[in-house]
């Protein structure tokens, strides 16, 4: 049975986070709780961050696991955390939207490209940061598909 990639329960609005590590852990925890990945995937997200920052610019970060994290992924999924006040993500970068990504096979590449398209437009990013409902955010993703 296929799982929805971004159901409403994978979205957290108006969250306050104190650090990059807390942001990554929270993004991973949503994926674990939703049954997309197992606990070990969160460690792989931190390993990925050591290799290269997942900060994408435009107040967006997309923490995800390393290439060898595949056995920890059960279903492709996405978590989205909105942090209106922002969180320090390292190197002086502030992040307000965190997309946790788990991809089965190479499905995460398609997910990444959708996020990239959506977030390359600063107006879209601003709309997502200002969104007051999960439906507003889900609607923006439907438009990309």
Other C-beta atoms closer than 10 Å to the C-beta of 51 total 9
Q: Is 64 among the residues known to form the active site?
A: yes
Prediction pTM value:
0.95
Distance of CA 91 to the CA centre of its chain: 19
8-144 has which fold?
Answer: Mannitol-specific EII; Chain A (3.40.930)
Count Cα atoms within 13 angstroms, Cβ side, for 106. Answer: 2
Q: Which helix (H) or strand (E) holds 77?
A: strand 77-88
Structural domain boundaries in the chain:
8-144
Distance of CA 107 to the CA centre of its chain: 14
Q: What is the pLDDT of residue 46?
A: 98
Q: Which helix (H) or strand (E) holds 128?
A: helix 122-130
Options 20, 48, 64, 96, the catalytic residue? 64
State whether the Cα torsion 36-105-120-5 is positive or negative.
Answer: negative
Q: What is the pLDDT of residue 145?
A: 59
DSSP annotation of 106? T
Do 37 and 108 meet the contact criterion of CB atoms below 8 Å apart?
no
User: If we measure between CA atoms, which residue out of 8, 131, 132, 1 comes closest to residue 79?
Assistant: 8
- Local mean pLDDT, 10-residue blocks, the chain (145 residues): 87 98 98 97 97 95 93 95 97 97 85 89 96 95 72
Other C-beta atoms closer than 10 Å to the C-beta of 8 total 11
Q: What is the pLDDT of residue 108?
A: 75
């Amino acid at each position: 049975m296929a799982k929805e990639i971004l159901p409403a329960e994978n979205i957290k609005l108006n969250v306050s986070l104190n650090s990059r590590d807390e942001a990554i852990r929270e993004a991973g925890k949503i994926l674990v709780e939703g049954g997309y990945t197992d606990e070990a995937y969160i460690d792989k997200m931190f390993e990925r961050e050591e290799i290269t920052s997942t900060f994408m610019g435009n107040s967006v970060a997309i923490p995800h696991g390393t290439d060898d994290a595949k056995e920890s992924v059960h279903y492709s999924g996405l978590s989205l955390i909105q942090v209106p006040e922002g969180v320090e993500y390292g190197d002086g970068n502030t992040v307000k939207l965190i997309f946790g990504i788990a991809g089965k096979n190479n499905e995460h590449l398609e997910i990444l490209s959708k996020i990239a398209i959506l977030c390359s437009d600063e107006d879209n990013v601003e709309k997502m940061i200002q969104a007051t409902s999960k439906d507003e955010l889900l609607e923006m993703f439907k438009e990309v598909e």
